[in-house]
């Protein structure tokens, strides 16, 4: 008996899912242990030249009310109508696999509960890190560990821009323009360069690792639009690279601290050498010490690969996988404010400030140095005002 599934959306990722499925159909069926086929592709547009034009529908109810369809790949993006469609599918007992990070970050707790209530699955490996396997390892391979910290580069666009600023001495504006020309950045790059994309991803990781839903609104998020070429150069002289880091850690008082910020990463940290559009995630646990997941974090086929892997999992699992879950959160008191961030800080101050600090570096752009003592976020901001600092950036510890 052939298992039928549907694809919601035929954009970049959705078309990649269809393409990759038919390209590797035999091996996918071997992994799933059954014959498979796509029965529907949902999209409001027409695709008269598609070899799969007979599978297209504009009516979601065709998919919802067809009992032959037991799994769905959601590749639409955004919260609505994706949320309504996914919830309806789960309530019909159809497992859903998604690449939609915004949906999971905002509504993951509700959708996981719906899947549990109707004995199906809501999978979202593709929502974080594209083809990099991170969701499944966190709740399976590393399940024996007490994980207290996750940190990494979760956005390829910003990493490409920072790499160009470092390697080619390009300004932020020029590097962004190049990223847009190459298709790495959208026409409106706000979600990437202001950190919103990375924020959604660290919310998903935080929720899974620490067991309660973390909302983007509760995560301090700062992008790279204010990173100056002078800081990239000075950081290198001081033995660091500037990266947009998304991180979460458990504090001594039991609260968790998720943040997204440009940070100085010491050259000896392996993340400092992750360049271009690549992503990397470091997981810290009491059994593993630390382990890194690395690869292309986005793109048509890499993301489609992760979506299809989840579809295969959905086909193989006839009951809900309870380890991939978290509880809803009625309040955010378990999320610490950004002032709980305590670390060393990088400052760049006007060259005439007469700062006498060990290890300081001075050029025509000012004097740059890293504090020897750790400061809270608030204390660092106060010091920046006192020094009339041109830049103030935390150091990843």
Would you please indicate which residues are annotated as catalytic (active-site) residues?
201
With beta carbons less than 8 A apart as the criterion, state whether 154 and 198 touch.
Answer: yes
Helix (H, G, I), strand (E, B) or coil at 220: strand
**The token pair that represents 15 in the structure block:** 């078309």
* CA distance linking residue 174 with residue 182, whole number of Å: 12
* CA distance linking residue 160 with residue 396, whole number of Å: 19
Return phi, psi of residue 338, to 5°: -65, -20
What are the residues facing 349 on neighbouring strands? Answer: 367
Tokens 């859903």 -> residue:
96
* CA distance linking residue 276 with residue 159, whole number of Å: 6
What does the DSSP assignment read for 377-396? HHHHHHHHHHHT-SEEEEB-
Helix (H, G, I), strand (E, B) or coil at 268: coil
What does the DSSP assignment read for 26-89? HHHHHHHTS-EEEEEEE-SS--TT-TTGGGEES-HHHHHT-TTEEEEEE---SSTTHHHHHHHH
């Amino acid at each position: 008996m052939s298992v039928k599934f549907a694809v919601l959306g035929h954009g970049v990722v959705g078309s990649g899912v269809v393409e990759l499925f038919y390209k590797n159909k035999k091996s996918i069926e071997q992994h799933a242990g059954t014959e498979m086929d796509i029965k529907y592709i949902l999209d409001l547009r027409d695709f008269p030249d598609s070899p799969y034009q007979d599978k297209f529908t504009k009516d979601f109810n065709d998919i919802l009310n067809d009992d032959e369809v037991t799994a769905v790949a959601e590749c639409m993006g955004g919260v609505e109508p994706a949320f309504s469609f996914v919830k309806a599918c789960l309530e019909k007992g159809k497992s859903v696999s998604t690449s939609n990070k915004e949906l999971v970050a905002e509504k993951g707790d509700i959708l996981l509960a719906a899947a549990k209530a109707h004995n199906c699955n809501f999978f979202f490996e593709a929502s974080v890190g594209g083809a990099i396997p991170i969701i499944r390892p966190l709740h399976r391979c590393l399940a024996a560990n007490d994980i207290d910290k996750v940190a990494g580069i979760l956005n390829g666009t910003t990493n490409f821009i920072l790499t160009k600023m470092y390697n080619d001495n390009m300004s932020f504006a020029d590097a962004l323009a190049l990223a847009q020309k190459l298709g790495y950045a959208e026409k409106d790059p706000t979600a990437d360069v202001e950190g919103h994309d990375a924020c959604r991803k660290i919310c998903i990781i935080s929720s899974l690792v620490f067991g309660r839903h973390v909302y983007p609104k509760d995560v301090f998020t700062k992008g790279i639009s204010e990173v100056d070429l002078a800081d990239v150069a000075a950081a290198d002289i001081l033995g660091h690279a500037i990266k947009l880091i998304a991180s979460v850690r458990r504090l001594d008082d039991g609260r968790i601290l998720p943040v997204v910020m440009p940070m100085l990463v010491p050259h000896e940290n392996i993340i400092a050498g992750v360049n271009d559009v690549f992503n990397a995630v470091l997981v810290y646990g009491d059994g593993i010490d630390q382990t890194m997941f690395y690869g292309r974090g986005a793109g048509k086929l890499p993301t489609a690969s992760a979506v299809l892997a989840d579809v295969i999992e959905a086909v193989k699992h006839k009951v809900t996988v309870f380890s991939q879950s978290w509880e809803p959160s009625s309040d955010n008191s378990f999320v610490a404010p950004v002032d709980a961030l305590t670390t060393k800080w990088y400052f760049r101050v006007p060259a005439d400030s007469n700062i006498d600090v060990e290890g300081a570096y001075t050029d025509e752009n000012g004097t740059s140095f890293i504090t020897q003592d750790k400061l809270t976020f608030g204390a660092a901001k106060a010091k920046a005002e006192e020094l009339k600092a041109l830049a103030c950036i935390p150091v990843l510890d």
